[in-house]
């Protein structure tokens, strides 16, 4: 990013989900990506994610939108910065890199992102997602706060 239309490629991968989408996000503020995930959720795909707590409750974060729509959303439970930028799709695809799920990453920042189709790698990242999910905190009420 920004010269390779990276977000469009991420959304295209999300659009192919059949079973589940799991993500871990330091910053997730991109409306189009959240809408694509919710469209898949509305078609029966399980959607879950862990957000970095700092910034999850801002007006730009997609946390509230996903939480309100019934996605399995939680906040990181560690005392350090949760700096993950990963999407796991159906146990076959992993999207990762320095690319935050934001317009700045897509349009302004010099970022990298890989979309890897490998079940072994997807399994390893799914294990990390499950480990982080166990440590995470369910948001208070309907807001993305601890």
Q: Residues 74, 51: contact at Cβ < 8 Å? A: yes
Of 22, 41, 84, 85, the active-site residue reads 85
90 is catalytic: yes
Identify the active-site residue in 90, 117, 118, 133.
90
Q: Is 85 a catalytic residue?
A: yes
Active site residue 133: no
Instruction: Return d(Cα 74, Cα 63) in angstroms, integer.
Output: 9
Which residue out of 4, 16, 31, 83 is catalytically annotated? 83
b or e along 22-35 (b: 16 or more beta carbons within 10 Å of the residue's beta carbon)? bbbbbbbbbeebbe
Query: For the residues of 80-135, what is the DSSP string, one character each?
Result: S----EEEEETTTEEEEES--BSHHHHHTS---EEEEE-HHHHHHHHHHHHHHHHH
CA distances from 66 to 82, 92, 108 (A): 19, 23, 25
Among all residues, which ones are annotated catalytic? 83, 85, 90
């Amino acid at each position: 990013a920004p010269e390779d239309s990276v977000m469009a490629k991420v959304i295209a991968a999300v659009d192919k989900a059949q079973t589940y989408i799991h993500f871990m996000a330091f910053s997730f503020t991109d409306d189009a990506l959240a809408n694509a995930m919710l469209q898949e959720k509305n078609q029966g795909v399980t959607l879950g994610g862990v957000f970095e707590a700092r910034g999850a409750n801002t007006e730009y974060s997609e946390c509230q939108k996903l939480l309100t729509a019934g996605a399995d959303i939680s906040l990181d439970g560690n005392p350090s910065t949760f700096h993950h930028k990963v999407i796991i799709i159906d146990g076959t695809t992993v999207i990762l890199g320095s690319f935050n799920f934001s317009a700045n990453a897509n349009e302004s920042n010099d970022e990298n992102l890989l979309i890897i189709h490998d079940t072994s790698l997807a399994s390893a990242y799914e294990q990390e997602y499950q480990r982080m999910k166990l440590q995470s905190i369910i948001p208070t009420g309907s807001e993305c706060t601890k």
